[in-house]
């Protein structure tokens, strides 16, 4: 009999290459989203699933929000904006820089518009000194009153457990949405195809 009694649907949003897919993979515990430094690596919304204790966490890894320059770009931005409005909590992933760019401004505006609970995740803290984070926190605090601020390194895993503890506060009672042994909504064939694309993105100089 399933132990799951609560679910938390989480939108992982941010600009391109900020570490959303790396964070999703770290939370799930295995690769469900491909990672590369090239733009538009994540092209559709990918669902990662973590079932732990009484809670099932459904993580929606979205394409980075950017200014669209093509029909693909338009579609990717629509995926992001639609996702922000249909979850229990939004996780805004940013870099440890005391500056709010256009993508972050747009996402914060959407969070405010939908009165969405939001956690600010400052990623890549392994690349800066801890005292430098204070300026980043102050910059974002002036723009929006986030429900929580969690500094992390998605690469090393530092702070990820603390983030999961914060996300768990937004879980609601209800039946599980996916089987407990399921880690993604993508079929195996799609996962394999995406991993192949990841290798091509890393090995080829030009975007595929």
Question: Six-digit token pair at 8?
Answer: 């938390």
Beta strands of 42-159 (E only): which ranges? 46-52, 55-61, 89-94, 118-122, 148-151
pLDDT at 178: 84
pLDDT at 200: 53
pLDDT at 61: 83
pLDDT at 67: 43
pLDDT at 195: 52
Helix crossing, 102-113 with 71-84: angle to 10°?
40
pLDDT at 194: 56
pLDDT at 198: 52
Cα end-to-end span (Å), the chain:
45
* CA diameter of the chain: 50
Give the residues of the chain that fall short of pLDDT 70.
Answer: 1-2, 32-45, 63-86, 185-208
What's the CATH class of domain 6-203? alpha beta
pLDDT at 64: 47
């Amino acid at each position: 009999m399933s132990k799951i009694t609560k679910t938390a649907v989480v939108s992982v949003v941010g600009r391109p290459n900020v570490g959303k897919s790396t964070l999703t993979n770290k939370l799930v515990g295995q690769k469900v989203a491909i990672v590369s430094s090239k733009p538009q690596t994540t092209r559709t919304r990918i669902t990662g699933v973590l079932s732990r204790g009484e809670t099932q966490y459904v993580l929606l890894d979205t394409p980075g929000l950017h200014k669209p320059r093509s029909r693909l770009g338009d579609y990717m931005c629509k995926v992001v904006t639609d996702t922000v409005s249909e979850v229990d909590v939004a996780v805004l992933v940013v870099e440890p820089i005391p500056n709010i760019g256009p993508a972050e401004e747009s996402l914060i505006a959407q969070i405010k518009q939908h009165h969405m609970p939001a956690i600010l995740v400052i990623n890549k803290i392994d690349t800066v000194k801890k005292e430098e984070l204070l300026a980043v926190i102050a910059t974002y605090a002036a723009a929006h009153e986030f429900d929580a601020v969690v500094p992390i390194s998605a690469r090393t895993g530092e702070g990820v457990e603390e983030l999961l503890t914060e996300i768990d506060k937004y879980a609601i009672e209800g039946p599980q949405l996916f089987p407990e042994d399921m880690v993604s909504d993508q079929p195996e064939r799609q996962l394999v195809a995406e991993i192949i694309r990841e290798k091509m993105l890393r090995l080829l100089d030009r975007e595929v």
